[in-house]
Amino acid sequence: MKGKIIVSLLFIAVILGMASCRKEDSKPPVITLNGSDSIFLPLPAVAGQGSYLDPGAVAEDEQDGNITGNIVVTNQVNPNRKGIYQVIYRVKDAAGNEATKIRIVKVFNASEKYARIYYNAVDSCGASGNNFISTVVSSDTVNRLVWIYNFGAYSNSIRVRATISDTGLTVPLGQYLDVGQTTWISAIYSPETGILNASAPSFRIKYQWSNGSTNGVCTSRYIP
């Protein structure tokens, strides 16, 4: 009987010893992003046709090893609208320790630098060539598309769309220049239409207006 007690006590001692030697897992896993933690994504050339393929991430845990398959991803990116988005990666190990990693994705219009107020705009057909103020706003949904408000000093309520980059500028024909829609852009002249200075963004548009019976040729310059 005494021997059985001794054996039982030894067994309990061994179990307690093993328990005391076992390390408590309190260290969270490590998430490593594939690629950069910041991604810059241009808007699509056609509205609604943007796409974003996330590079993903891997997760390693000191006790559990590779637990990449346990990563839960929250992807907030809308590739069809300008903005700053987050891709959030979360993972837990077997002990419940959690890790989080965030990737920033900026969806942008590549012609954003041309979106500004042009205080020294001038139109050759304007009264005495006086300067006027024009505001250029970049599209939230189409890359390199901008809207030129108060084009040619016609009116602040008039806007003309254009596609602009450091190497060129295009303006679709047929855009109206008055609220009554009686005057429109009937021609654009090249190479007079284009970028004047890409470093200090400024540009020029030589156009023909028409009202169906008469027309004229003017040059608008947009200088900050």
**In a shared domain, residues 90 and 154:** no
**In a shared domain, residues 118 and 215:** yes
Write down which residue in 54, 85, 108 finishes a domain: 108
**In a shared domain, residues 93 and 141:** no
**In a shared domain, residues 104 and 117:** no
- Average pLDDT value for the chain: 91
Which residue do the tokens 């006790």 mark?
63
Strands 38-42 and 98-108: parallel
Residue span of the structural domain in which 124 resides? 112-222
Instruction: Give residue 108's pLDDT.
Output: 98
**In a shared domain, residues 58 and 33:** yes
Write down which residue in 108, 138, 168 finishes a domain: 108
Instruction: Give residue 196's pLDDT.
Output: 97
Alpha helices in 69-192 (DSSP H): none
Q: Do the domain assignments include residue 66?
A: yes
Whether the model pTM is above 0.85? no
Per the structure, how many domains does the chain have? 2
Instruction: Give residue 68's pLDDT.
Output: 98
Is the pLDDT higher at 14 or at 205?
Answer: 205
Q: Do the domain assignments include residue 37?
A: yes
- Where residue 129 falls among pLDDT bands split at 50, 70, 90? low
Q: Do the domain assignments include residue 51?
A: yes
Cβ-based neighbours of 4, under 8 Å, separated by 6 or more: none
Q: For the chain, where are the E strands, in sequence order?
A: 30-33, 38-42, 57-61, 65-66, 72-75, 83-92, 98-108, 117-123, 131-138, 145-149, 159-165, 168-170, 184-197, 202-210, 215-222
Could you tell me the CATH number of the domain that includes residue 36? 2.60.40.10
Q: Do the domain assignments include residue 191?
A: yes
**In a shared domain, residues 67 and 91:** yes
Write down which residue in 108, 135, 150 finishes a domain: 108
24: helix, strand or coil = coil
**In a shared domain, residues 85 and 116:** no
Candidates 56, 55, 66, 73; CA nearest to 30 is 66
Instruction: Give residue 127's pLDDT.
Output: 60
Q: Do the domain assignments include residue 5?
A: no
Lowest mean pLDDT among 11-20, 55-64, 149-158: 11-20
**In a shared domain, residues 122 and 171:** yes
Instruction: Give residue 122's pLDDT.
Output: 95
**In a shared domain, residues 39 and 55:** yes
